[in-house]
């Protein structure tokens, strides 16, 4: 087993165990069926994408493993990642507390819709990974990196963030928590902030990006923004 495989497996286990703790510890119970279903969807989706990258694009896997506020090279992105992490953790804790105290009454159909949205979000991210081997988890310009303007990038400039938002808005629904949506909106605002700062960086450091912005005017939502 090489170093990349060990690091990937360790990171994956830490992520899933961390999610489990956030989902079940605040609620004080493992009797949270929606959380088990969500955890299964999340774990399978990330495992399948990781397995694909390990086989087809290990360099992208390396770029994805290097993540988090500490890994960011740009100071403002460290701050953005910190706030994103707080909101992300808060979403799961709030959903767990919601389950514990029965604050929300969410129909099963909405819960299932939430799980479907989570899967769709991961699917969008997977399509992005197939199209863009430079889609790192941190803001940087790698050696030999070029502007990608094909596939989903021909429609919007940041399709991976769209996939992340679909997944993040599906998460509270899948966990039967209306209150959790508050944190989804918080994360969305942080993602918008990240996009604006990322575009400033890419316009300076990635040749051709300014021309690409003119060619594809919408950042996140087609015909809207």
Angle between helices 159-174 and 181-205 (to 10 degrees): 170
Q: What is the rounded distance in angstroms from the CA atom of residue 170 to the CA atom of residue 42?
A: 11
Say how far apart CA 74 and CA 220 lie, in whole Å. Answer: 22
CA distance 30 to 91: 18
Own/partner contacts of 220-223, CB < 8 Å, gap of 24 or more, are 220/156, 220/157, 220/158, 220/161, 220/162, 220/165, 220/192, 220/195, 221/156, 221/162, 222/155, 222/156
Annotated domain spans of the chain: 3-215
- What residues have CB less than 8 Å from 203, skipping those under 6 apart? 209, 210, 213
Q: How many CA atoms lie within 13 A of 7 on its CB side?
A: 12
- The CATH classification number of 3-215 equals 1.20.120.1630
> 202 near 196, Cβ under 8 Å?
no
Spell out the residues 6+ positions from residue 22 whose beta carbon is closer than 8 angstroms to its own.
Answer: 89, 92, 93, 96
Cβ atoms of residues 125 and 49 within 8 Å:
yes
Tokens representing 187?
């994360």
- Computed on alpha carbons and rounded to an integer, the radius of gyration of the chain in Å comes to 18
Q: Alpha-carbon dihedral of residues 87, 85, 28, 174, nearest 10 degrees?
A: 60
Predicted model pTM: 0.91
Print pLDDT tens along the chain (225 aa).
577 778 888 888 999 999 999 999 999 999 999 999 999 999 999 999 999 998 898 888 888 877 778 778 888 989 999 999 999 999 999 999 999 999 999 999 999 999 999 999 999 999 999 999 988 888 888 888 899 999 999 999 999 999 999 999 999 999 999 999 999 999 999 999 999 999 999 999 999 999 999 999 999 998 889
């Amino acid at each position: 087993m090489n170093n990349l495989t060990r690091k990937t497996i360790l990171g994956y286990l830490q992520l899933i165990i961390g999610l489990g703790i956030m989902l079940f510890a605040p609620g004080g119970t493992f009797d949270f069926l929606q959380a088990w279903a969500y955890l299964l969807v999340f774990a399978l989706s990330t495992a399948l994408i990781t397995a694909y990258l390990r086989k087809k694009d290990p360099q992208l896997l390396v770029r994805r493993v290097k993540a988090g506020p500490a890994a960011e090279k740009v100071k403002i992105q460290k701050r953005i990642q910190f706030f994103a992490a707080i909101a992300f953790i808060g979403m799961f804790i709030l959903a767990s507390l919601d389950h514990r105290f029965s604050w929300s009454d969410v129909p099963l159909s909405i819960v299932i819709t939430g799980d479907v949205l989570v899967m769709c979000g991961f699917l969008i991210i997977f399509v992005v990974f197939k199209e863009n081997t430079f889609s790192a988890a941190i803001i940087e310009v790698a050696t030999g990196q070029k502007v990608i303007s094909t596939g989903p990038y021909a429609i919007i400039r940041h399709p991976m963030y769209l996939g992340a938002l679909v997944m993040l808005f599906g998460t509270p629904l899948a966990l039967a928590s209306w209150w959790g949506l508050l944190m989804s909106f918080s994360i969305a605002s942080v993602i918008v902030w990240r996009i604006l700062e990322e575009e400033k960086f890419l316009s300076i450091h990635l040749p051709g990006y300014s021309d690409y912005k003119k060619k594809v005017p919408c950042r996140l939502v087609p015909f809207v923004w």
